[in-house]
Structure 1
């Protein structure tokens, strides 16, 4: 029980200490803290007149300096003092656009010091430029600072009023300071609300765009699953059961059915991986192993079992110099080249050439003239486009075209930096 009472007392002291802490922090910020951020330039929407703002402002400051110097000379101030007080009157206005809080500090200093030798018959202790300039500085500062600093700015601004202004004029000046503080706080709150609303609107738009993209990816994944994956499953099942449903199937034909079933299962595996990427909300790094040059033999054996006569002319599959992206691109280019040869040149002999160099990889897939009409339609599809994109994305080149003997060839040059750490 005593521990609970002590904890409650500490919490109460913290709560009571919080306003004092905020007040001290606000006072430190007001007197020597970081300045308020500059606001948007009034002429930002008109870049033409904005370029003349600085020269016009300097000319206005010079004119104000001369007017103040004339008034203070009429008050009988010595010329050095008049020059100093005139500079102190103009300096806050020059610092106001970029450093509003600094401008207010200079203004308070000027209000407290630029009153010496004022005529005794005057109820107003400052020159008109200094009085009007101090009002302008205060009107800008109250729209830039938060409430703790605003409270101290208002409190300190009343010190010259109580000490130097005639009692008959104090109430209007205090009312003017209070009105400026209230209006400035409302303007600042309105500006912050509009800024937060704009940020929230932008965030909502990005969220809607992300949801639209995710919904479209989900729809594509659903269509691919319902159509493509279904047919690929049927192909795999029919290819596996065909040797048992047909009597007297020769061994080469049975091997072709086995190859068709294996290709269909591989396609289903790739399809499931692609569907998982499409359905996922965030695309992370792929953890499944990607094929490379060492897998060319397996792919060529599968193509041979499917009835495609393929010969390979290649050196070492991978001697440690070929980066993984280059090996994957070479594998996919050979894969697409064999698929195109099987579709568009049935029965033609296919030759795959792979050369691993010190700074690049050369891949070439060529086929002889077709022995039978093509089994695919005349639409070229996206195979050549995909191969070209893979090659150019690595900084390489890609060529494709018919051969003089009636065949067809695709070739890719895939460069890489042998000295880099990308292995």
Structure 2
């Protein structure tokens, strides 16, 4: 009995339907699909592995040198020398000097080998003849030019060194009297160049150059491949460590700069909020009193010129007082000469003036004091004054003619302020945007205190604030924040 192989199936989608269906495939198609997937993975892996080699040989560029931390020589301005090369980096100057030293050392070394090779060649013509001067100077250029280029163009320096290293290896194996075919100037140059590459180039480029170096060492002299690998790896790891540290330092500097900018922006916002709060308190209170007085004076005077004149004089005094306080608030903004208004800010010692203005506007204000409320820290006194001022302004606007109870009590470690008003005798103005309550809460919060405000039963509104006091104030010494 002949068994027919059952075709394998795989899940697919039937055309025209939303539910998944089954699609038949042959073993040959499955095998071809597997080989295609494997070949695709191999191709991607090969491209990934070859990319560092291509970047090292033909593409990419190095990071700019850290100019901000480099020693430079600059011509003093007082000398007035218009010589452009008098302003240069000392690192580049040291590289140029080292390149000249290595050039001379390489030329003298190879010329010495040539002299010995010429003497031996005369005695035994089978031995190698001296190399020509062209190869002498090509080898010297291969050990000096990369040093001069490594600070500005490290990748170009490595490519020059990698191109001319075979010339130096051929010269050393032809006329040299050393074991491994690596001259000391060539080794020093190559180590400095790969160090610069590791410091200034992407790690993929560094990895590609390391791989090329190891393979080239294995091809040139397999016996010294292990030593070459270790020495080059140490130089590259040291350079890569320097690169990582510089990158971390640069990121840290950038984050610190961003933090300073954010702190500066936050300070600006806080200052703007403080100025806006002060302006709101001053303008809202005085303008409310002036508006109510301007409306009430003609009704009270009723044709009496003396009473009308007295009312207008009171409005003028309130206006001048408002202008004076506005000038004090705006004094925090320094002018271009750096001067600022140093006039004292109002405190609770001016509470009687505040209450008199409110009573003149038609409010019946009852004041209760307990404890020493006259000697307070400037910040606490100003905040308490502004809270009372804003509360009375709100009562004048939203509850005209109401009875207001003002209670200021000093307790151990805190100052309590309570302002409560009943329903007004006339319709008040429409509710505002609530900036006054926000400002009062901010003032209390800045001192570490609390503020609660809201309507009370039977109509009216109440504000309660608690402001902390320091110990030196409790002992009778006024503190200055």
CA 1:41–1:169 in 2, change beyond 3 Å: closer, same or farther? farther
CA RMSD of aligned residues (A): 4.2
Aligned-pair CA distance for 1:62: 2.4
Aligned pairs for 1:94-133 within 5 A: 94-119=148-173, 122-133=178-189
* 1:37 aligns to 2:91 (yes or no): no
State the structure with more CA Rg. Answer: 2
Once residues 144 and 234 of structure 2 are traced to their aligned partners in structure 1, the CA distance between those partners, rounded to angstroms, is 24
Q: Pick the aligned partner of 1:72 from 106, 110, 119.
A: 110
Aligned pairs for 1:408-419 within 5 A: none
CA 1:71–1:236 in 2, change beyond 3 Å: closer, same or farther? same
Aligned-pair CA distance for 1:79: 0.9
Q: State TM-score, norm by structure 2.
A: 0.46
For 1:118, what is the secondary structure of its paired residue?
helix
Once residues 208 and 59 of structure 1 are traced to their aligned partners in structure 2, the CA distance between those partners, rounded to angstroms, is 47
1:93 aligned residue: 147
Answer whether contact 2:143 2:161 (CA < 8 A) is retained: yes
Aligned-pair CA distance for 1:142: 1.0
* Greater mean alpha carbon deviation, residues 113-122 or residues 91-100: 113-122
Q: Pick the aligned partner of 2:210 from 138, 151, 154.
A: 154
For 1:97, what is the secondary structure of its paired residue?
coil
Once residues 99 and 236 of structure 1 are traced to their aligned partners in structure 2, the CA distance between those partners, rounded to angstroms, is 76
1:205 aligned residue: 260
Answer whether contact 2:71 2:91 (CA < 8 A) is retained: no
Aligned-pair CA distance for 1:203: 0.6
For 1:33, what is the secondary structure of its paired residue?
coil
Aligned-pair CA distance for 1:16: 9.2
Aligned pairs for 1:5-404 within 5 A: 23-40=49-66, 44-45=70-71, 47=73, 57-73=95-111, 74-75=113-114, 76-119=130-173, 122-165=178-221, 167-248=222-303
List per-residue Cα deviations over 1:350-381 (Å, max 9, x = no partner).
xxxxxxxxxxxxxxxxxxxxxxxxxxxxxxxx
Once residues 110 and 139 of structure 2 are traced to their aligned partners in structure 1, the CA distance between those partners, rounded to angstroms, is 8
List per-residue Cα deviations over 1:162-191 (Å, max 9, x = no partner).
1112x3322111112222333322221121
CA 1:246–1:24 in 2, change beyond 3 Å: closer, same or farther? farther
Aligned-pair CA distance for 1:24: 5.0
Aligned-pair CA distance for 1:227: 2.2
CA 1:227–1:24 in 2, change beyond 3 Å: closer, same or farther? farther
Which runs of no fewer than 5 residues in structure 1 stay unpaired?
279-423
Q: State TM-score, norm by structure 1.
A: 0.52
List per-residue Cα deviations over 1:68-109 (Å, max 9, x = no partner).
112223142111221122112211111011001111111111
List per-residue Cα deviations over 1:197-236 (Å, max 9, x = no partner).
1110111111111111211211111122112321112102
Once residues 41 and 216 of structure 1 are traced to their aligned partners in structure 2, the CA distance between those partners, rounded to angstroms, is 38
Which runs of no fewer than 5 residues in structure 2 stay unpaired?
1-10, 21-33, 75-86, 115-129, 334-481
Once residues 220 and 16 of structure 1 are traced to their aligned partners in structure 2, the CA distance between those partners, rounded to angstroms, is 68
